[in-house]
Amino acid sequence: MDMNESSTRDGTGRLAHHGRGGELFVVFVVNLVLRIVTLGLYHFWAKTRVRRYLWTQTSFDGERLEYTGTGLELLVGFVKALVILMGGVLLVAAALSQLEALALPLVIAIYFGFPVLAGFALYGARRYRLTRTRLRGIRFGLDGSGWDHGLKLLGYGLLTVLTLGLYTPYMRMKLAGNLYNNTRFGSEPFTFDGDGRDLFGRFLLAVLLTLPTLGLVWVWYQAAEFRYTLSRLRVGDIAFELAESDMNLAWFFVTNALIVVLTLGLGLPWVMVRTLRHLGEQMVISGQLDYAAIRQAQEESEATGEGLAEALDLGAF
């Protein structure tokens, strides 16, 4: 068996996925049985098990990723998040019962507080997953603060509302920048210099074509944004590019949705695997990492952020 699973040196194939839909389907069946038997409690372990499969079947420069998170961590994070949320709700209810005049300021506080909380949760979830992801034994990491991300989400969100949505691509690139510029592989930082300006034209086009295409144009925009985001990302000297066009990637997303719908959800494992495989095949990667110079850094984080994201149904993968 060839240890160097990336054989080509033209830049494609350095990221590769080796998973099989059938294998992942069995993982889903195992998870389903255990979820039923445990009355749903296995959910957190199930999630972990799927991630472990997808991570380990994905290789970069011939070495597979490793997922080290555990179901117990996710369960504890979820319970903590629930306690925090319930505490918040009880606090608001208690305040209201004491003083009716607080109602309006409280409603305003909740409206402003929710994006901050959501940003905090998403950032925490990202941090949890990155610190549980290893390549060559070295952890990924996310610096920066979740509250800072939440405040940014609120601030850019307000700007977006004030500009009737026109600020959206700028907001999305700024938030992506905050995430990627704080991401590290061990001691090696990621950098991101995407700018909403570069997407604004396509964003306007998508707005104009929303009605004539019954909204389908947004799949194309999503593909374009994804390809653009990737192209502005660096890890050391490494740069990424998707070889295919925006339109091709959009069509790929559409076929994924069709497979899931037409198989009534049974095709989901195949869709997961084929998506990662497709991205690996299309991704052109240039530059080299000086692996020996990359050191282990940053301790693992706790899973409260991920728990909060789950409790708020923010759809973290």
Partner 1 sequence: MDYRGWWNDGQSAGRLEVRVRLLGPRLLVSTADNDAAVAELSLAGLALAEEVYARQPVRLKHDEWPDARLTVADHALMTKLIAAEPRLGHRYHGDRGTLHRLAIWGGGLLAVVAALVGVVQFGAEPLAAAIPQEWEKALGEGLMADFIEHYGLCDGEPGAGHVQALTDVLASAPGSPHRFRVHVLDGAEVNAFALPGGYVAVFRGLLERADGPGELAGVLAHEVAHGLERHPTEQLVRRSGFSLLTGLIAGDASGFAVLAGDVASFMADMANSRADEREADRLAMALLNDAGMDSRGLPRFFEKLQSEDGDLPQALALVSTHPASEARLAETQALARAGADPMTEEAWLAVKRACDGAGT
Cα angle 186, 192, 196; round to 5: 155
- Chain residues binding partner 1 by CB under 8 A are 1-3, 18, 20, 22-23, 25-26, 29-30, 32-33, 35-37, 39-40, 43, 49, 52-53, 55-57, 63-64, 66-68, 134-138, 185-186, 188, 261, 263-266, 268, 289, 291-296
Nearer to partner 1, 2 or 10 (CB): 2
**What's the closest the beta carbon of residue 64 comes to partner 1, in angstroms?**
7
Nearer to partner 1, 156 or 185 (CB): 185
**What's the closest the beta carbon of residue 128 comes to partner 1, in angstroms?**
18
Nearer to partner 1, 63 or 241 (CB): 63
Q: Of all helices (H) and strands (E), which one includes residue 257?
A: helix 246-262
Q: What is the three-class DSSP state of 264? A: coil
Cα angle 77, 107, 94; round to 5: 70
**What's the closest the beta carbon of residue 159 comes to partner 1, in angstroms?**
34
**What's the closest the beta carbon of residue 210 comes to partner 1, in angstroms?**
27
Nearer to partner 1, 124 or 186 (CB): 186
Q: Using the 8-state DSSP alphabet, how is residue 299 labeled?
A: P
Nearer to partner 1, 155 or 236 (CB): 236
Report which of 250, 298, 294 is spatially closest to residue 127, judged by C-alpha positions. Answer: 298
Report which of 4, 24, 2 is spatially closest to residue 13, judged by C-alpha positions. Answer: 4
Tokens of 279: 């991205």
> How many whole angstroms separate alpha carbon 82 and alpha carbon 72?
15
Answer whether 316's CB lies under 8 Å from 59's CB. Answer: no
Nearer to partner 1, 28 or 192 (CB): 28
Nearer to partner 1, 32 or 161 (CB): 32
Nearer to partner 1, 57 or 182 (CB): 57
Estimate the crossing angle of helix 168-180 against helix 146-162, to 10 degrees.
Answer: 170
**What's the closest the beta carbon of residue 49 comes to partner 1, in angstroms?**
8
Residue 15 backbone dihedrals phi, psi, to 5 degrees: -100, 125
**What's the closest the beta carbon of residue 72 comes to partner 1, in angstroms?**
16
> How many whole angstroms separate alpha carbon 301 and alpha carbon 197?
34
Three-state SS annotation for 30-71: HHHHHHHHCCCCCHHHHHHHHHHHHHHCEEECCEEEEECCCH
**What's the closest the beta carbon of residue 310 comes to partner 1, in angstroms?**
13
**What's the closest the beta carbon of residue 112 comes to partner 1, in angstroms?**
31
